[in-house]
Chain A
Amino acid sequence: MNKSNRIIQVLGVLFLIILVSSCKHKEDEYHSITDKIRAKSKNYHGVTISSEKYFDDIKMMEITEGEHTFLIPERKSQIKSFKCTECHTKPLHKLQTEGVQKAHWDIALKHADLNTMNCITCHNGENMDELKSLTGNQIDFNKSYKLCSQCHTKQFDDWKGGAHGKNIGGWAPPRAAMTCVNCHNPHKPHFETRWPARFNTQKIIDRK
């Protein structure tokens, strides 16, 4: 019996050794992902890749808002019939009375209610090439976000930081962001209801 006792002892010790040695060694790991991010970004040197080549064909302009500096697409060249003064040769009220062909008939303003906003809240009837702030200051078409940010301050903050809106090109620096009017139609800023681009499954049986 002594012999088998000793065997049991040896086996027990072996078992313990295996148990101990197979413990996970994670001493050098961080306590949480936030710790890891904080620690590892302390000596961040930048990356070698750039997303610049992905927006080569888009004309960009750099803006600085608060502590954020980034690129947004230039707008004026994208508007179909800019400059507006090419048609708007006279002040607005004159164009309206002369009975000429109606323009912009397809624009139906669905942005706030009519007590709050109408065309001239943003457009300047006297100078159609510029936008107009609530206090009557001029705003460049390229910086139309300044117009939006008058009311949508929270969205503006989020957009500057990157929580609202979309990247252009990719995540890699330099940062390029779409500006408000790249996603929202300023006259009808809401997104429409529509059918999804793809269904979870085409198999009818699986559906409820």
Chain B
Amino acid sequence: MSDNNKKWYSLNLNSRQKQPKTSSSCGCGKTEGGCNSSQPVEELSAEDFLEAAVNASIGEEVKKDGFDQVFDVKMSRRNAFKQLTASLLIGAGAVSSCTSVISSDESKEKSQIDWEEQFKGNYKLMEDDEKKGTVERLVRSYQLRTGKTISLSSKNAEKDVLFGYAFNISKCQGYMDCVSACVEENNQDRDSQMQYIRIHEMKDGKGFNFNEADDNYYHEVPAEGHFYMGTQCFHCDNPPCVEVCPVQATWREEDGLVVVDYDWCVGCRYCMAACPYDGRRFNWSKPEVPEEEVNKDQHYLGNRMRKKGVVEKCTFCVQRSRSGKDPACVEACPTGARVFGNLLDPDSTIRWVLENKKVFRLKEDLGTEPKFWYYMD
């Protein structure tokens, strides 16, 4: 916390000249009051605010402030947007500045981060340094809110990688260790018991009859005369959910992962209607994870904290898979029913499965090209 050279961008709405050099004093990690007492209370004079308002609305002509740093990117439409909304934002800024008159630097910084986060662009279209910028803001924001530090990655897709997954129906025994690991790894909402994976208990002799399958069993497993089949997001190569998104908040990455920018999603749930595999989940309320259970090893596109009203889904644990690990479900599976790997590597185990076992996929006739295969011993 003791970083004196600020890594996050500053909005500097109220004080251009007299930025107090007390950032280290907040390193105490105490509550607001503790930090506040050690430094002068900053007040926002009328002139300062007026100046700031003018700066915000005509930003380009005056020298650059933090506002520009955030929005001054190659894409011209961002600039256009800035011009258009700056005046609107002054109103919001006035409110937040007024309330922060008596509050500490930290809460000012907090609202400033919130501000910048609210009006950032689509992650899919960001340059690497912009990605880094938003990641740093999010880390700092979490730090300010909880006093804890997370590691948030913005690692891009690796070249020559296309992720694929295979599921051995003969091996799955319905232990649900995968589900448990997934929930813990991906910081899913505990209240609504959100789960990406569903394990369907099927009756022997009835084939893959999902209609008669039970995905909510409550007994010891494996149950006599049953077999188990897991479903989750299949990371289609031709994903219908991506096609329908009106704002490109979801897309297929180069390594085949279908991901969501939670901050860009508008929550229309068209993708949920378009998904033939029940692969997507919606945050109907604000997702809650007890602080001590939060997995702090996060990726922007993966298990970072979501907000209310956005869609999320399995990402093959992008935070793990992009650094060479298997997804949590694969690692947790006690029976080895789950195989994960690089489809482009001719020597990978997933390729061996595809080439040597009798594999099939669900609803292949829909042309979605899922990268999730089932096979049997």
Contacts and interface: CB of A to CB of B under 8 A. Distances in A.
In the complex, A touching B (Cβ < 8 A) = yes
A40 interface: yes
B176 A196 contact: yes
Main secondary structure of the interface of A (DSSP, over half): loop
B193 A201 contact: yes
Interface in B144-164: 158-164
A85 B168 CA distance: 40
Interface string A147-187: 00000001100100111111101111101001000010000
A203 interface: yes
A204 B215 CA distance: 14
A20 interface: no
Contacts of A198: 176, 179-180, 183
Contacts of B176: 196-200
Nearest to B344: A41
A199 B199 CA distance: 10
B335 interface: yes
Nearest to A171: B341
B352 interface: yes
Given A41-B344, A183-B336, A163 B349 contact: yes
Given A191-B335, A193-B222, A170 B325 contact: yes
A63 B214 CA distance: 42
Given A49-B158, A167-B326, A167-B330, A200 B349 contact: no
Interface residues of A, number: 49
Interface of B: 158-164, 166, 168, 171, 173-177, 179-180, 183, 193, 195, 198-199, 214-218, 220-222, 237, 320-326, 330-331, 333-336, 339-354, 356-357, 369, 371, 375, 377
Interface of A: 32-34, 36-37, 40-41, 44-51, 54, 154-155, 158, 161-167, 169-173, 175, 178, 183, 191, 193-203, 206-208
Given A167-B331, A171-B349, A200-B179, 12 more contacts: A37-B164, A40-B160, A41-B346, A48-B159, A161-B352, A162-B339, A163-B352, A166-B333, A172-B342, A193-B222, A195-B221, A200-B195
